[in-house]
Amino acid sequence: MMKLGVNIDHVATVREARYRGQVHGEPDPVAAALVSEAAGAHGITAHLREDRRHIQDRDVLALRRQIRTRLNLEMADIPEIVEIALKLKPDIVCLVPERRQEVTTEGGLDVSGHFQSLEITRRRMNEAGIEVSLFITPDPVQIEASARTGSQFIELHTGAFAEAFAQPADRDREFQRLLEGARQAQSLGLQVNAGHGLNYENVHWMQRIPGLVELNIGHSIVSRALRVGMAQAVRDMLQAMAAVPEH
């Protein structure tokens, strides 16, 4: 059964819109994480960005203390954040590209182009007891490079699939890339997660990819939570993930 990791970044986005620079404020992303766990989420994902645009250092510290499932820290491979991760000791880190101008992470890592740095960071994390995932597009070159770093996981970037979902031919082409990427990664000994742009309408397609471990989903859940509450939004996503795939 695929697991659900709930990304709480955009709960913090709403808080920071009013309370940026303050040490309190609402809504509280940690409270949202605890509600998500109680509703059945298998893990919590938070992205500590270099510019601290949403999640703050105090948030990840509180998450580490309070959640009882799996803490996935999304992060760029930069010295400051690497040192924070090594002290925080999340269960897993997902290394992602990061650009100041983007609203959310828009592309995958260039693992082959930054192999040495990523391999060093992977080794340091593993030595501290932290698993490592690399967020990549389903590109054979990047998948092969990811395996060579010694990482335990990749997370396949599902954004192109999500964006193409309303156009059947484009959707099918992008889905095939995901399917082939997952098979290649698994043949190289990598475990495979997926995320970005997944929502209540398209998430059941991920059941067609054998062996996916976890889906990391944030924006769609937080959006629905504005109408039905966080707990119900998480339960709805778990139900959508379990829906029978269409053929």
Residues 219-241 have pLDDT tens digits of: 999 999 999 999 999 999 999 99
Is residue 90 reached through a cis peptide bond, with omega within 30 degrees of 0 on the bond before it? no
Apex 105 CA angle, 93 and 19, nearest 5: 90
Counting other chains too, the contacts that 141-144 makes at CB distance below 8 Å and 24 or more residues apart are 141/112, 142/108, 142/109, 142/110, 142/111, 142/112, 143/181, 143/184, 143/185, 143/188, 143/190, 144/112, 144/184, 144/188
Does the structure show a pLDDT above 50 at 103? no
Catalytic (active-site) positions: 47, 74, 196
Does the structure show a pLDDT above 80 at 247? no
Q: 3-241 has which fold?
A: TIM Barrel (3.20.20)
**How is the chain split into domains, by residue range?**
3-241
Residues 139-167 have pLDDT tens digits of: 999 999 999 999 999 999 999 999 999 99
Adjacent-strand bridge partners of 194:
156, 215
Residues 35-47 have pLDDT tens digits of: 999 999 999 999 9
pLDDT at 178: 98
